[in-house]
Structure 1
Amino acid sequence: MKLVVLDCDGTLVDSQNGICEAMTHAFTGFGLVPPTRAATLAIVGLSLPEAFMALAPEQDDALRAKMVARYKSAFLEIRREPDLHEPLFDGIAAAVETFGGRDDVVLGIATGKSKKGIDRLFAREGWGQRFVTVQTSDDHPSKPHPAMLRAAMAEAGVGPERTVMVGDTTFDMEMARAAGVGALGVGWGYHSIDELQRAGAHAVVGNCHDLPADIDAFFSTRERAA
């Protein structure tokens, strides 16, 4: 059995507009200049406390905690806007269905997103039975700490040599390396291919539609090298 652990924002879902708008609210609500869009997207994948530490290092812990709360509130309000759409990247639904129909692969999630956010996504996409393990920032240290991957492997009963982490950020690649699992970057998310490679990606998938084949190729290469 092989375990494929997927990041969410930037890997499965294109959620950048909502994230950037909520981040702007979190800063301007306290009279602060919001970060650039590029700076905000660069921290996608971190849990919120670590994200605000990176974006507002000059502020104290108490204010950053208030900014986190304002971000969460703003994000929930933004999600209620009828014109906000956070689509799956083209090809992701087919990839999940492909793996869901196989008996040699199980799927997991490891994300900085909250459990509530994942529950909403699963309800929308009908994925309740597709993933055997879901690890979120609610229960673990932020990426790149390997706790989420260790928990995912324990729940799935799969060792690191047969596990791959698929993500779009350097934090995903660093987490994978720290956990001793495969690190497979994707080129359609928030960090560049060069950044993913420098962070330790074993390979980078360039197109969503190629994801199942590239994951299979990664495992085949690893098995031949073992």
Structure 2
Amino acid sequence: MTDYQLLIFDWDGTLVDSIGRIVESMHRAAEFCELPRLSDEAIKGIIGLGLPEAIQALYPQVREAALIERFRLGYGEHYLALENQPSPLFPGVAESLEVFRAQGYRLAVATGKSRRGLHKVLQGRGWLDYFDVTRCADETASKPHPRMLQEILAHCGVAPERALMVGDSAFDLQMANNAGVDAVAVGFGAQPLEALRAFGPRLAIEDFSELRAWLAQGAAVRTDEVGEYVG
């Protein structure tokens, strides 16, 4: 039976319903920089990366440092303005996190956001001291590099096999695999579960409360279908 000690969460699309704001902010930044407007699905496909990596993936023709910085500033200003009214938590998140804390789990965040962006949204919720540790893409390596998780594990003194990464993107699950950490795929964020199953998550869920139920069962089973646990 796997006895997890540390639960690590992606932020956007996993804990909070912010994907629409990210997509809108990327469109606005592109307009600001007079770059082509891409599809919503193309933008959802890079959510989870650090912003410089996301810009490079979406607009490989953009090489000038000044233009990249202009895009970054345009995106950040628009997104942070939207976050004056914090994005809502997904159903079941607040209650589940409180239960996890009461049960003694260590809690962490591993996000593609900048430190400035994460500070803003945590501050907006009064959560600056809520998690044991947080890591952002602009202060370490971007997903799917494992460094973000490795730093969180080192900070908490937890072995990889005692940690669980919960995320909504291929980059989250690839990062977990690269760090030797089990993963949970959520299907209500940026990418559908069909795209995430290829990375071998221990669990695939369509409602956050399913994670709480699974952990309560001992997390000793695998799943091939949403809500169906296979020993």
Q: Deviations over 1:171-213 (max 9, x none)?
A: 0000000000101111111111111111332321221121212
Distance 1:31 1:118, change over 3 A: closer
Kindly provide the amino acid, as one letter, of the partner of residue 43 in structure 2.
Answer: T
Q: Which amino acid aligns with 1:30?
A: C
**1:45 counterpart (48, 52, 56):** 48
Deviations 1:11-49 (A, max 9, x none): 001112221221112111222222111111111110000
1:98-123 residue CA offsets vs partner (Å, 9 max, x unmatched): 111112x1111100112233233333
Q: Pick closer, same or farther for the CA change 1:215–1:111 going to 2, 3 Å.
A: farther
Structure 1 residues 72-91: aligned runs within 5 Å: 72-80=76-84, 86-91=87-92
Kindly state the Cα deviation for residue 217 of structure 1 after the two structures are TM-superposed.
4.5
Read off the aligned partner of 1:214 and give its amino acid letter: W
Corresponding residue for residue 122 of structure 1 = 122
Residue 177 of structure 1 corresponds to which residue in structure 2? Answer: 177
> Structure 1 residues 76 and 126 mapped into 2: Cα distance closer, same or farther (>3 Å)?
closer
- What are the residue-to-residue correspondences of 1:139-154 with 2, within 5 Å? 139-154=139-154
Q: Distance in 2 between matches of 1:120 and 1:22?
A: 16
How much identity, in percent, do the aligned residues show? 37
Contact 1:162 1:219 in 2 (8 A): no
* Aligned CA distance change for structure 1 residues 129 and 210 (closer, same or farther; 3 Å): same
Instruction: Determine the structure 2 residue equivalent to 1:162.
Output: 162
Residues in 2 aligned to 1:54 and 1:218: alpha-carbon distance in whole angstroms? 39
Q: Which residue does the alignment assign to 1:20?
A: 23
Partner Cα separation in structure 1 for residue 86 and residue 125 of structure 2:
13
2-structure distance, mates of 1:74, 1:160: 37
For 1:118 and 1:30, locate their aligned partners in 2 and report how far apart those are by CA, in whole Å.
24
One of 60, 65, 75 as aligned partner of 1:71: 75
Take 1:127 and 1:102, find their aligned partners in 2: how far apart are those partners?
A: 19
What is the one-letter code of the residue matched to 1:74? H
TM-score (norm 2): 0.87
CA distance in 2, matches of 1:198, 1:158: 26
Kindly indicate whether the alpha-carbon contact (under 8 Å) linking 1:100 and 1:130 is maintained by their aligned counterparts in 2: no
Instruction: Give the structure 1 partner of residue 96 of structure 2.
Output: 95
Q: 1:121/1:100 Cα in 2 relative to 1: closer, same or farther (>3 Å)?
A: farther
Letter in 1 for 2:127: W
- TM-score of the superposed pair, with normalisation by structure 1: 0.89
Whole-Å separation in 2 of the counterparts to 1:216 and 1:108: 19
Q: What is residue 191 of structure 1 aligned with on the other side? A: 191
- For structure 1, list consecutive stretches of 5 or more residues without a partner in the other structure: none
- Give me the whole-angstrom Cα distance separating, in 2, the residues matched to 1:65 and 1:118: 19
